[in-house]
């Protein structure tokens, strides 16, 4: 597929150039001129009018100039531009006997099926943390319908999962009064992929080494997004005789910071499916404790002198609508909330949510802090 068939537009091209250190130096209604900000030896013209008769021709010229300026091949540049607003999760099934990057039909079916299960389980865990889901949240199912699969890639057998990552810059401001519903909906894609990364990394650590994970460790893993459904997705792929290793790698969008604590790759080797199955069965049989996860901005802060706790209101999306969730925070997290409020930093909160119809929404908090899915470093440092 060519750059033009991918329907790449000016926004993708300009974001790509910005990410590579190019600088915009002139603009008209029809085009922009960008200069190589590293060496300053090259200038390229970016067409802006997508309906112009020569738009594709101008893109071809732009691509040719970039190949010379960056000394990279056409396919690599095309792929980077077309995926500039995407987080790409690659599922790779490896086996020494694979022929011509092919895979047996049944193993391929299980890999594609697991891709869907990874997405739904991670979306569900982004909304609620629990050991298993009798019924997925509706939003998790809807999310899976919007996520796309890319073309399979060479190198064993690789299936790319494509998720939007248009994390807007400077959306949140100090003392912000309301969240932006459209922005929050956009950020959900990135939050799901970040949950998948943390959950798979936690599961991999849980089953590594020579000892069996303890019940306490498996219960703690739920808080990181591990669920029976996620375990079953890994187990399904690893049970195939055609797969010796499952690698899940994360290529984060270049226009949004990689989530804090995220890993570039998680690996499961043949033989690990037995421990994964054990974790899966434990999560099914253990007492079910459900914690919700909310994302939003702090709009309310209330604390009287001498009190040990402070009252905090976080505006979030519940069932597609803005709503303030109230919580009591002890001294340290309350001061953290004040700093996030003063600097306009979005937060994530995990805990038991009571959102009865017609009542004030309240949460008993177990974890509170800046939304780690949107920042590589702690934004308060």
For 181-208, write each residue's pLDDT tens digit.
Answer: 888 888 899 999 999 999 999 999 999 9
Name every residue whose Cβ is closer than 8 Å to that of residue 267 and which is 6 or more positions away in sequence.
204, 245, 246, 247, 248
H-helix segments, the chain: 10-19, 55-70, 74-82, 105-127, 138-146, 181-207, 215-222, 228-238, 273-285, 331-343
The answer on pLDDT for 4 being more than 50 is: no
Residue 220 has what pLDDT? 95
CA dist 380 and 333 (Å) reads 13
Question: What is the pLDDT, as a whole number, of residue 151?
Answer: 81
Q: Where does the pLDDT of residue 99 fall: very low under 50, low under 70, confident under 90, or very high at 90 and above?
A: low
pLDDT at 83 over 50: yes
Please give the pLDDT value at position 100: 65
pLDDT value of residue 3: 43
Give the contacts of 339 (CB within 8 A, at least 6 positions apart).
345, 380
State residue 231's pLDDT score: 97
CA dist 192 and 137 (Å) reads 13
User: What pLDDT is stored for residue 149 in this prediction?
Assistant: 86
Examine the pLDDT at 349 and tell me if it is beyond 90.
Answer: yes
* Average predicted confidence (pLDDT) for the chain: 89
Q: How far apart are CA 362 and CA 328, in angstroms?
A: 9
Interval 31-81: pLDDT, tens: 999 999 877 889 999 999 888 899 989 999 999 999 999 999 988 898 889
* C-alpha atoms less than 13 angstroms from C-alpha of 13 in its C-beta half-sphere: 29
pLDDT at position 57, please?
Answer: 93
Percent of the chain with pLDDT over 90: 57
Task: Give residue 5's pLDDT.
Answer: 46
How far apart CA 209 and CA 41 sit, in angstroms, is 52
Indicate if the pLDDT at residue 1 is higher than 70.
no
Average pLDDT over residues 354-374: 93
Q: Using 50, 70 and 90 to split pLDDT, how confident is the model at 230?
A: very high
Q: Examine the pLDDT at 287 and tell me if it is beyond 90.
A: no
pTM exceeds 0.95, yes or no = no
The pLDDT tens digits of the residues spanning 116-175 come to: 999 999 999 999 999 999 899 999 999 988 888 888 877 678 899 999 886 555 456 676
Instruction: Give CA–CA dist 15/81, Å, rounded.
Output: 8
Give the model's pLDDT for residue 96: 62
Instruction: Please give the residue that has the higher pLDDT: either 295 or 109.
Output: 295
Q: How many CB atoms lie within 10 A of CB 362?
A: 16
Q: Which is more confident, 291 or 40?
A: 291
pLDDT above 50: residue 2: no
DSSP code for 223: T
Model pLDDT, residue 103: 79
Nearest to residue 72, comparing CAs of 16, 33, 25, 26? 16
% of the chain surpassing 70 pLDDT: 94
């Amino acid at each position: 597929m060519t750059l033009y068939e991918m329907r790449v537009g000016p926004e993708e091209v300009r974001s790509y150039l910005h990410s590579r250190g190019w600088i915009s130096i002139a603009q008209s209604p029809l085009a922009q001129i960008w200069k190589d900000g590293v060496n300053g030896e090259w200038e390229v013209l970016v067409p802006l009018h997508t309906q112009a008769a020569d738009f594709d021709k101008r893109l071809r010229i732009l691509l040719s100039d970039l190949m010379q300026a960056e000394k990279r091949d056409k396919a690599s540049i095309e792929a980077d531009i077309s995926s500039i607003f995407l987080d790409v999760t690659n599922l790779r099934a490896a086996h020494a006997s694979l022929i011509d990057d092919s895979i047996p039909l049944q193993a391929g079916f299980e890999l594609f099926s697991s891709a869907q299960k990874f997405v739904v389980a991670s979306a569900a865990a982004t909304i609620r943390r629990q050991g298993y889901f009798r019924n997925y949240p509706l939003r998790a199912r809807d999310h899976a319908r919007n996520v796309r699969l890319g073309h399979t890639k060479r190198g064993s057998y690789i299936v790319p999962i494509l998720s939007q990552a248009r994390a807007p810059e400077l959306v949140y401001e100090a003392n912000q009064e309301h969240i932006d519903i459209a922005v929050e909906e956009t950020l959900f894609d990135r939050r799901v992929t970040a949950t998948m990364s943390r959950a798979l990394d936690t599961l991999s650590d849980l089953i590594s080494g020579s000892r069996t994970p303890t019940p306490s460790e498996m219960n703690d893993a739920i808080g990181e997004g591990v669920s029976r459904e996620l375990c079953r997705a890994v187990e399904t792929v690893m049970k195939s005789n055609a797969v010796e290793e499952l690698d899940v790698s994360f290529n984060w969008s270049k226009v949004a910071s990689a989530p804090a604590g995220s890993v570039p790759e998680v690996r499961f080797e043949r033989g690990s499916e037995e421990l994964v199955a054990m974790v899966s069965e434990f999560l099914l049989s253990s007492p079910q404790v459900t914690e919700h996860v909310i994302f939003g901005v702090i709009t309310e802060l209330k604390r009287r002198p001498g009190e040990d706790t402070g009252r905090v209101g976080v505006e979030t999306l519940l069932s597609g609508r803005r709503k303030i969730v109230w919580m009591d925070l002890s001294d340290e997290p309350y001061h953290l909330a004040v700093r996030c409020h003063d600097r306009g930093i979005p937060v994530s909160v995990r805990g038991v949510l009571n959102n009865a119809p017609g009542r004030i929404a309240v949460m008993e908090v177990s974890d509170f802090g800046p939304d780690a899915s949107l920042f590589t470093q702690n934004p308060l440092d």
